Amino acid sequence: MEKPFIALILYAVVALGLLVLIYTPRETHSHHHRRLKLRSNFSFSASPKGRARDHAVPFDPIILDIEQRREDREWEKAHFPFPHTDPAPGEEAQPEWEDFMDAEDFINDEDRFNVSLRLVSLFPSIDVSPEDGFLTVDELTRWNLRLEASETLHRTKRDMELHDKNHDGFVSFKEYDPPSWMRDHSDDHNSTGSHGWWSEEHFNASDIDGDGLLNLTEFNDFLHPSDSVNPKLILWLCKEEIRQRDRDKDGKLNFQEYFSGLFDSIRDFNEHDHNASSDRSSEFLAKKLFSEIDHDNDGLLSEEELKSVIGIIHPSEHYYAKQQAERAVEEADSDKDGRLSLKEMIDSPYAFYRAIFADGDESDYEFHDELR
């Protein structure tokens, strides 16, 4: 009981001191030259396999809620001409930002949405393992994953509502029609749809209990197989990688089939040094990695052998969550101790709240926002 109590006192003292600093009159800070932006690049027709959507989840649950509600409205317009659901009994009142003509005006109104105060509020929820007054990359990664899981499940529920035509809480393969872009692709290639992303094999691999229907968890795996721990689905991903490159149709990849495409995916995420760009050095590295994957040394890569690198070929959200956390720490860690204090976060709020400049006067402090 003593440690949580001490930590609580520590938070209170630090937060009080920071609040005094926040509200102490001072010269204009560079933060005022930036305007927070909401994401607006979500596509309802994007292929899941292309992972076209943005991987950077909002750091703040309020921002996430705003983006989800805005996205839901666009989804409603795209799929239903009229509202198709009534508000749930006892539903909470609309959030405060609904009073604004534009939600971006709300998150840029310092009196209504103060990023420093938001950081003070969120810090204790992230600083949990250990609860020591500092945030590590691991703690930030877990926080990002928590919000990402919420966002992903929200979209899955919405997609399930669309495809569960008999409203029984499950999706059958017959109910889940391939999207129009996939039907066009199949027609162009005279494909029967027996293999590939929208195949029945993919559906069955996602069906953990084998009842021929996908519940919410299984449907979520179906839409996001790279984040699944389902062994059947992981094996299906490996099979797909082989099918796409297996020119001699022997069910495995020889070195040339691997070198012509798969190698680049593995190489980009591999720890080996590949700064040299010559064809000779690339082939040398390719052979080295190939031999590491080819466990039985038969000169071919099987589905089972690809399991060891499928997480590199198809990175999970954990990879992106950690990447986002590492970047935030790198930007805000002023004393370079590898962790963040609350003061460091408040001093560098835009390492967490993605933003752009409202004017171009500070080109020497340009903010590159590759994640958004």
> Phi and psi at residue 19, in whole multiples of 5°?
-65, -40
pLDDT in tens, 124-142: 999 999 999 999 999 999 9
Torsion, Cα of 28, 31, 33, 38 (10° steps): -150
31 inside domain: no
pLDDT, residue 2, reads 57
- pLDDT, averaged across the chain: 79
Q: Is residue 237 assigned to a domain?
A: yes
Instruction: Give the residue, 31 or 236, on which the prediction is more confident.
Output: 236
In a domain, 345, yes or no: no
Residue 1 one-letter amino acid: M
- Is 223 domain-assigned? yes
36 pairs with which residues across the strands?
A: 355
In a domain, 171, yes or no: yes
- The CATH number of the domain holding residue 241 is 1.10.238.10
Domain count, the chain: 1
Q: Is the pLDDT of residue 19 over 70?
A: no
More confident residue, 149 or 89: 149
For residue 290 the two structure tokens come to: 């190939």
Specify if 58 maps to a domain. Answer: no
Judge whether 117 lies within some domain. no
List the structure tokens of 107. Answer: 């998150």
Residue 38 scores a pLDDT above 90: no
Question: Angle at Cα 145 formed by Cα 268 and Cα 115, nearest 5°?
Answer: 110
Distances (CA, A) of 6 to 123, 124, 345: 16, 13, 21
298-351 residue pLDDT tens: 999 999 999 999 999 999 999 999 999 999 999 999 999 999 999 999 999 989
Supply 117's token pair: 């105060």
Domain ranges, residue 176: 159-313
Asked, for residue 110, whether it belongs to a domain, the answer is: no
14-23, 30-39, 142-151, 252-261: least confidently modelled range: 14-23
Residue 339: enclosing H or E segment and its boundaries? Answer: none
